[in-house]
Amino acid sequence: MLLKPRLKSMLKYVVSIFILIIILLQMDFVVLQKQLQSIDSWGFGLALLAILCQIFFLNMRWHSFLLISNNKISFKTSSFINIAGYFANVLFITSVGGIIAKSSLAVRHGLSITQAIFTTLLDRFMTLAALIVFSVFGLQFLGHVLDQKLLSILSLTTLGVVAVVISSLLVLRSGMFKGFILSSQKRSRFIVLLRMHMENYPLMFKTVCYSLIAQGCFILSVYILFLGIDADMHIKTLEFLALLPVLALISALPISFGGWGVREGAFIYGLSLVGFSMESAFLLSVQVGVVTLIAPFLFGLPYLLQSDFKAFLLGNDKIPV
């Protein structure tokens, strides 16, 4: 049983290292070094601030979902649970690690196992949904940039996902599979939770806004980093911004070590379509990886310095409200 997760982790390492080696073998290190020296430290700091804002709105969304199941949970407590998910993504090198960590801490702070897993999956889905919304909106600006076959595949994929989600919600509301759902206690609890959240329109409106603002902060962060890379490049800014959600979705595929390698490959290929050199796209991707790695630790630092950190993890919430 232990071999399988370890094997998956090893495969993720191999994928990341393999892709990065292929990229580095084709890199002009003279150009890369010159661009590395011209990085704007103030821009890097502003990009980091934008990611901190992203995490804040993600924490707001997570807290809103938790309040449905436990209306006594504080924002400070829910924020730490969310940050713990970021830490787990880094430590366990997989989004599953983040899901397990968030679900476990949510259970320790008053939620049932079903509530914790459902809320964690819904929270993750909202992030992907926001990226899909931005991707669908951005595809209309990429018609003259992407190959028509590739554009068709991306359009059909994103629209297909949207159609599946809408169809599933309509089928759920119709009660067509009521007998099948009620035949399992776990399924029925899950569906009850889903309907309870979906029919809470103020909650869904609020969390959708948080999701869109959070991903908007991410796009802003990448744009700030882009401004500090190479001012002499003639980049199509609108197309660049339209590509970012698509690249973020590709980078989120759970097939590599924390997205490394896959993100760099996606950035190099995608941004080459709007005028980026290989070195510029690689450097931008690495900076995105670094700021998204540093920000959760900065956000979680006040919690980590608490003397009752261990008690919090064990479920005895002694962190001051």
pLDDT tens column, 135-169: 888 877 777 766 665 666 666 666 666 676 666 66
pLDDT band, residue 321 (cuts 50/70/90): very low
312: in domain: no
283: in domain: yes
Domains held by the chain: number: 1
| CB < 8 Å & 24+ apart, contacts of 189-194 | 189/114, 190/114, 190/118, 193/114, 193/115, 193/118, 194/118, 194/122
247: in domain: yes
30: in domain: no
Find the domain containing 171 and state its range: 40-302
320: in domain: no
Check residue 205 and give its pLDDT.
94
Q: Is the pLDDT of residue 287 over 90?
A: yes
- Tell me which amino acid residue 157 is: T
pLDDT band, residue 112 (cuts 50/70/90): confident
Sign of the dihedral through C-alpha 224, 225, 226, 227: positive
Q: What is the per-residue pLDDT across 221-266, written as a single tens digit (0 to 9) for each?
A: 999 998 887 555 556 788 888 889 988 888 877 777 777 888 898 8
4: in domain: no
Check residue 155 and give its pLDDT.
67
318: in domain: no
269: in domain: yes
Angle at 70 between CA 84 and CA 53, to 5 degrees: 45
